[in-house]
Structure 1
């Protein structure tokens, strides 16, 4: 069965963005970037890959699901398919028609459950926190790019969700001179 993987940058105090939704406090330079590009190229937007002269490896993810606020970041720049190298799903209740190549879903939990039953690679949960909180029952793996900053407030890793305890086991942690740590967790079998 396919995995739903929440791959996200996060502060030491558990925020994925500032209160206004900005994430520019997270460093985009440092020795951790080479690992992000080489191992997680499928999770880099197509226009960024193109600007870097790269292409997605196509070996980790073949599908992305993101919240409407995350999708709107690219849409404001006129980019209707930020992850054109992946099957794209956007959780939204807007009722507006989706651009060609993008699927809008008002029930992301049901959508993820259906996707997990289909053959394919991993499903990349791009954000945001509220969506991650609603999909927590289906998240199989967390890959956290823990940044050496304290935001103090903002968008929480799992949004406003108050879930029952779900255990994840740490299966790997790599630290970099930049201060970033990539922590990988899998849902506990217990």
Structure 2
């Protein structure tokens, strides 16, 4: 079965964005970028690939799942479909207008469980945000955290509102870069 991978940048104090939803405190360049572009290139938006002259490798993810607030910055920049090479699923409790290649769902748990059960070799990428991660906590199979050397003090937590109790994960690996970014990977521990 395919996995739901929560791959996200996070501060030292556990926030994926500041209180206004901004993430510009995270490092955009440094030696960790090779991993971001290489190993996780499927998780870069199309406009970033265009600017760098790269193409999505199509080796890790075939689907991105995000909350509405995660999509909003792209919409505000005039980008209605940030990941046209992935199946794009946006969770929203309200009916919204989205691009033709974006699927809106008001049942992210059911949607993710159906997508995970499909045949395929590539995983689903949980892009954010914190409330969506909280609602999907029991379905997250793997965490890949790009921990940036910054304290935000407040903001959008990595996981908000999880109600399923403790969620055990085991460390799989950790890589520290000269930039100060640490890429940590954890796999769910299933009973």
Q: Settle same-fold status: TM greater than 0.5.
A: yes
Mapped partners of 2:39, 2:114: distance in 1: 26
1:41 aligned onto 2:33 = no
Q: Which stretches in structure 1 are left out of the alignment for 5+ residues?
A: none
Mapped partners of 2:138, 2:167: distance in 1: 8
What secondary structure does 1:144 align onto?
A: strand
- The corresponding residue for 2:65 is 65
What secondary structure does 1:74 align onto?
A: helix
Shift of 1:165: 0.5
- The corresponding residue for 1:92 is 92
Q: Which stretches in structure 2 are left out of the alignment for 5+ residues?
A: none
Runs of 4+ in 1 over 3 A off after TM superposition: 160-163
What secondary structure does 1:20 align onto?
A: coil
Mapped partners of 1:19, 1:112: distance in 2: 27
Deviations 1:82-116 (A, max 9, x none): 01010000001221243211100000000000001
Shift of 1:9: 0.4
Matched length: 190
Mapped partners of 1:137, 1:183: distance in 2: 19
Mapped partners of 1:97, 1:17: distance in 2: 25
Distance 1:134 1:188, change over 3 A: same
- The corresponding residue for 1:29 is 29
- The corresponding residue for 2:4 is 4
Mapped partners of 1:64, 1:135: distance in 2: 14
Shift of 1:186: 0.3
Shift of 1:163: 4.3
Instruction: Give matches, 1:71-82, under 5 Å.
Output: 71-82=71-82
1:13 aligned onto 2:13 = yes
- The corresponding residue for 1:181 is 182
- The corresponding residue for 1:107 is 107
- The corresponding residue for 1:130 is 131
Deviations 1:20-75 (A, max 9, x none): 10000001011101111110000000111111100000000000010000011101
Shift of 1:78: 1.2
| RMSD value, Cα | 1.0
